Structure 1
Amino acid sequence: MWQFWIDRGGTFTDIVARKPDGSLETRKFLSENPEQYQDAAVHGIRSFLNLQALDSIPKGMIDSVKMGTTVATNALLERKGDDTLLLITKGFGDLLRIGYQARPKLFELNIQLPTLLYKEVAEIDERLDAKGNVICPLDEARAREALRRSKKAGINSVAIAFLHGYLNPDHEARVAAIALEEGFGQISVSHQVSPLMKLVSRGDTTVVDAYLSPILRRYVTQVSDELGGADDTQLMFMQSNGGLTDARLFQGKDAILSGPAGGVVGMVKTAEPAGFDRLIGFDMGGTSTDVCHYAGQYERSFETEVAGVRLRAPMMHIHTVAAGGGSILFYRNGRFQVGPESAGANPGPACYRRGGPLTVTDCNVMLGKLHPSHFPPVFGPNADEPLDVAI
């Protein structure tokens, strides 16, 4: 049976296939090519199996599909997650907006606050003390009213984060049960998502989970359906911490670094046979560049900030710079500038033959540092042309 290992990046999707005879083959596809296919990963699998775009994948052909994806990362960066309701203890409705009042750039005159992920917030009458004892009982009627109002407004995702809820989850659990009764599709509660002290980071992590999990669920369902909904095919996704999880357990809070984390693991496993255990990884993609360090064990962060959002979940310690092969070149204010805007995969750099802007990749092609022969003919409007050297 076939096995597929997929890295779905912002610009390219790389697939390694293990054929039934044990041989390996690799192919590369543009992550976005709406005229040709809806999803690069599924299209790539079909191409290996010599199937047409609308052909269903026969059952019994694929043993497993293991994937690292930037679906959650892109949704967070572009703020394209699901509309989310935040339920929080009365008096703390603006807590996540205020945050820790940190000023990374102390003398910045034009302070840009990050966009909040939740669409609505409702304060719930309830209160626990620092030991988890009930000070104010839960007002279930108020909670149900807030949930019902948001549900009527079209919100289907709810994040529940109460003060000291990690010590005594009874109030959060009861509100979650009410949300389920009211028909919410995604319910994230802080004592399950991040059962630790500090309401700000616990609340932010819970909101991220509620905001992104529906996106992931739809993507997982799409891939699973394309695979024929096959019960005999194991579908797994890379998590931010470097481990694989079953697709049904893939959560928003664990998906932010799904793609880059796979690069760290791949770097270490590639270097091991050669006897190297002190490594610096440099992973330059189309939209960003990731740098990591390894000195005998994986370095992980348990609290970090991604795209202006505080997260508390175990993830690989990776430094990301918003500059890659697709970074657009500008001439602004009398000087040359690279990025941070990226051409992505659609339209992509100018050499992709889709009318894109001048990018770092184009410069490397013109200078001969990138050889068109090393790239598959997947460019142009019909996805069948090589890189354009005569740009």
Structure 2
Amino acid sequence: MSPWKIWMDTGGTFTDCIAIDPSQKVNRLKVLSSGVLRGQIIQALSRNSFQVEIALPTTKDIFKGFELRLLNSKQKVIVQSLDPATRILTIQGSLRNVEGYSFEISSNEEVPVFAARLLTQTGLTKTFPPIEIKLGSTRGTNALLERKGARTAFITTEGFQDLLLIGTQQRPDLFALHVEKEKPLYSLALEIKERIGADGLVITKLSNQAIDQLIRALKKSRVDSIAIAFLNSYLNPIHELLLEKKLKQAGFHSISTSHRLSGQIKIVPRAETTVANAYLAPIIHNYVNNIQRGLAHAKLKIMTSAGSLSNADHFYPKDSLLSGPAGGV
């Protein structure tokens, strides 16, 4: 059987989908990116049965086990059934005096999983059919613009702690006397004694003593993510690799190293890329992992900022920054 082919564009408000089912029929879907369907209770038929008004994109009742939340209320119940033909909603438990109330129902999954469930009309207890998904998302873009990324530590070569604060001469107004710079994405900047020369040879070896001291400082600061960018590591990453190994042994999991993320010779753009990746890493990795968990057997590819598609397992958080806009182009 041919797989479902689904293309999704997830924005801050809406998620738009086009899908081709196994019979080659084209299906379209637009849902809220919060992963909910909204409706209103028109009439109570009993304490657990209601006539509702809701736009349903399915012809099957796939809603058993979904959560129903009354808006402007803390009441939550589990859906037993929701008939798309009659719009009769049955719940587990009971609700009283709720006529006229607005509600939302959700499977409590990431919206790509929720949308795939609606398109393929697959209930929570059912197995998804074979699916191929191409996903563009503004999750990374929104997290950066709203400054909702992880608490990040920036680690660099001794003497370059203020590297990203100094930056370059690039500014919005070149001749402004009072230059207002954006606050850095990192919460903490630390330097460590090490040095790789321009020829890739080790000038100052990275010592275990320096690493142990750094680890103590990081544990005290309670950061969520770490960015490592050393001078000339693009040519010889031996110190970045050593520090990454020691940090993982110390219990740190979200670590971004500049030599893997950027081949640029100049340290400033390479460090900026690494910090951005570290800042977004916990959010994007959690997002992608949740999608993969919900669509365990689906083939998932994600749009990168460059306009290419990357397998989910090889998708770097930094590549999510223009994922949505690139997909739109």
Asked if 1:170 corresponds to 2:238, the answer is yes
The structure 2 residue matched to 1:16, chosen from 9, 15, 18, is: 18
Distance 2:176 2:270 in 1: 28
Partner of 1:259: 324
User: What pairs up with 1:350-389 in 2 under 5 angstroms?
Assistant: none
Residue 105 of structure 2 corresponds to residue 40 of structure 1: no
Q: Could you say what the CA RMSD is over the residues aligned between the two structures, in angstroms?
A: 1.9
Matched AA of 2:131: D
**Alpha-carbon distance in 1 for matches of 2:261, 2:251:** 20
8 Å Cα contact 2:285-2:317 kept in structure 1: no
- In the alignment, is residue 96 of structure 1 matched against residue 161 of structure 2? no
In the alignment, residue 256 of structure 1 is paired with which amino acid?
L
SS at structure 1 position matched to 2:23: coil
Q: Does 1:6 align with 2:8?
A: yes
Q: Highest CA radius of gyration, 1 or 2?
A: 2
**Structure ranking higher on relative contact order (CA contacts 8 Å, 6+ apart):** 2
Aligned-partner SS, 2:209:
helix
Contact preservation (8 Å) 2:307, 2:326? yes
Separation of aligned partners in 2, 1:119 and 1:18 = 45
Extract unaligned runs of 5+ from structure 2. Answer: 37-103
Aligned equivalents of 2:298 and 2:322: distance in 1? 24
Q: Is the 8 A contact 1:4 1:66 kept in 2?
A: yes
Q: What whole-Å deviation, never above 9, does each CA across 1:279-321 have from its counterpart, x for those lacking one?
A: xxxxxxxxxxxxxxxxxxxxxxxxxxxxxxxxxxxxxxxxxxx
CA–CA separation in structure 1 for the residues paired with 2:7 and 2:147: 28
In structure 2, which of residues 86, 103, 127 is the aligned counterpart of residue 58 of structure 1?
A: 127
CA-CA distance at 1:40 after TM superposition: 3.0
Give the residue type in structure 2 aligned to 1:252: P
Which amino acid in 1 is paired with 2:234?
A: Y
1:89, 1:124 within 8 Å by CA — same for their partners in 2? yes
Instruction: State, as a whole percentage, how many aligned pairs show the same letter.
Output: 42
Task: Give SS of 1:93's match.
Answer: coil
Comparing 192-201 and 127-136, the one that deviates more: 127-136
Distance (whole Å) between structure 2 residues aligned to residue 103 and residue 198 of structure 1: 18
Match of 1:105 in 2: 173
Contact kept, 8 Å, 2:35 with 2:114, in 1: the verdict is no
The equivalences for 1:25-36 within 5 A come to 25-32=27-34, 35-36=104-105
Asked if structure 2 preserves the Cα contact closer than 8 Å seen for 1:239 and 1:255, the reply is yes
**Which residue in the other structure is 2:263 paired with?**
195
Q: Structure 1 residues 110 and 56, CA, compared in 2 at 3 Å: closer, same or farther?
A: farther
Which residue among 309, 313, 324 is the counterpart of 1:248? Answer: 313
CA distance in 2, matches of 1:9, 1:244: 18
State the AA in 2 paired with 1:103.
R
Deviation per CA, 1:110-162, whole angstroms, max 9, x where unpaired? 53311211111111001122222222221332223212331343223211111
TM-superposed deviation, 1:51: 4.5
Cα distance in 2 for residues equivalent to 1:190 and 1:23? 45
Determine helix, strand or coil for the equivalent of 1:111.
coil
In structure 2, what is the equivalent of residue 347 of structure 1? none
Tell me, what secondary structure is at the counterpart of 2:242? helix
